[in-house]
Amino acid sequence: RPGQNHHPAGPSTPPSSPPTQSLSVQRQLYERDFPLYKQPVEVGHFSLDSERRFFNDARQLRYYVEPEKSCPNFDLRDGYRGRFVKRDDRVKEKLDHILRWILANRSKLQSKDTAASSSPCALGVDIVTWRGHLTKLLTTPYETREGWLLAVTRMGGTLYISEVETEAARRDRENRTERHEEMMYWGYKFEQYTCAGPRVCNTTKQGAPPSKRHHEDQGALQTDDAQSLPDPGGVVNTNEAFCTVVQTRLAEHRLLFSGEVDCRDKDPKAPSPPANYIEMKTSLEISTPKQRSNFYRFKLLKWWAQSFLPGVPRIVAGFRDHDGVVVSVETYHISKISQLIKNETNCWKPTVCMNFCCEFLSFVKSVVTEDNPRVVHLFSWDPHRDVTYSIHSDSQYSFLPDCEFHRYDD
């Protein structure tokens, strides 16, 4: 498809020529030097409570409590029937929580360089999205099963990227087996065994004085809640979340994104966020060479991409058996994962992930030039295909408020 395809390594397109129509996902096109990725900086955070209400603070941030034994015997099935409140995943929140955070924290974003320059970009960032959407982009060159749809709108010079559920994903969600539904609970249950803090207060200590519940900063939480321990007898409520908001740069793309953080290091001497955050995971115990290779080739790719993006340095993994009993716990340092996988044949490469993501963002920038909250460019990708897009005005895909939101000069 010469002339049609967006050439990743090629010279930049002159502004006058029409945008290319598709973007190739082939790995070998992205095997070059690792692009610049600036150390992500936390510019804020927010919490969602048990009813999914937004709070511009860290009340839902928990801390990690190391299990007593290396073989802890946590029963992840406990409480699935009876002590589980599941978030309604039919409700699509799109970028709503992030937009809310931006409205409440505009002043923190209008940085010196934006204010000083006559930048047409009011927010001072090129891209606003969820971390989870960027994770999908990073893993695209290696994905063979699930495609994606990403809706993009330019407003005030900034590109907003919000996922749209594919038909296949909707079918999978509506036809999950009871076993699968239960296994989705296991990850949250593992967090409950290993994390302590405000969530415990909210579910079991309802009478706690307001001073214990409404902290504005993480330092206060640490001193007041230093005594609390994980509460495996409590309710697991997946509406609750703590999300970090980070700013960084991938080559020329200034990014602002938010991601859910499971907990933080409780050591008061731990570095400042996001370097003190810890991601919790569960996975089937590894007993054969085939399982080990699959874990390295597929699971570690997703784990690495998700935590590398916001600069979360550690993953604590609970390995479980088929009955949901955790048989071992292991820590993975994100910075050591690329070494760990190096000897694996047919394995993924971090540089391919990052270069593809970077190229996709350049492609989006070249395509989405109209600054209008009512216009959506829907980027679509299916395994073994190129990325393509379609244009929609005032459609079901619109996801930004058509209001004064983009006027930051009032």
> Residue 42: CA atoms inside 13 Å, Cβ hemisphere, count?
18
The reply on whether position 87 binds ligand 0WD by CB under 6 A is yes
Closest by CA position to 331, among listed 281, 292, 295: 281
CB atoms within 10 A of CB 218: 18
Closest by CA position to 253, among listed 137, 335, 168, 344: 137
Contact call for residues 390 and 378 (beta carbons, < 8 A): yes
- Segment 278 to 317, residues that bind ligand 0WD, using CB under 6 A: 281, 306
The reply on whether position 132 binds ligand 0WD by CB under 6 A is yes
Contact call for residues 239 and 200 (beta carbons, < 8 A): no
The reply on whether position 187 binds ligand 0WD by CB under 6 A is yes
320 interface partner picked from ligand 0WD, Ca ion, none, CB below 5 to 8 A per type: none
Closest by CA position to 265, among listed 257, 275, 255: 275
CB atoms within 10 A of CB 343: 8
By rule CB under 6 A, what count of residues binds ligand 0WD? 14
132 interface partner picked from ligand 0WD, Ca ion, none, CB below 5 to 8 A per type: ligand 0WD
Q: Token digits for 381?
A: 């990708």
131 interface partner picked from Ca ion, ligand 0WD, none, CB below 5 to 8 A per type: ligand 0WD
Binding mask 140-169 for ligand 0WD (x = CB under 6 A): -----------------------x------
Helix intervals (H) in 71-204: 96-109, 112-116, 131-139, 167-174, 178-194, 198-204
- Distances, alpha carbon 197 to alpha carbons 157, 218, 257, 345, in Å: 40, 11, 25, 42
Beta carbon of residue 269, minimum distance to ligand 0WD (angstroms, whole number): 26
- Give the residue with the Cβ less far from ligand 0WD, 93 or 402: 93
**Candidate ranges 103-111, 128-136, 206-214, 248-256; the one touching ligand 0WD (CB under 6 A):** 128-136
Beta carbon of residue 327, minimum distance to ligand 0WD (angstroms, whole number): 19
- Segment 213 to 252, residues that bind ligand 0WD, using CB under 6 A: 241
Assess whether the previous peptide bond of 274 is cis (omega < 30° from 0): yes
Give the whole-angstrom CA distance, residue 76 versus residue 322: 11
The reply on whether position 280 binds Ca ion by CB under 5 A is yes
Residue whose C-beta lies closest to Ca ion: 280
- Give the residue with the Cβ less far from ligand 0WD, 222 or 306: 306
**Candidate ranges 75-83, 85-93, 220-228, 369-377; the one touching ligand 0WD (CB under 6 A):** 85-93
For binding to ligand 0WD (CB under 6 A), which residues are involved? 87, 89, 93, 130-132, 135, 163, 187, 241, 259-260, 281, 306
- Interacting residues toward Ca ion by CB under 5 A: 262, 280
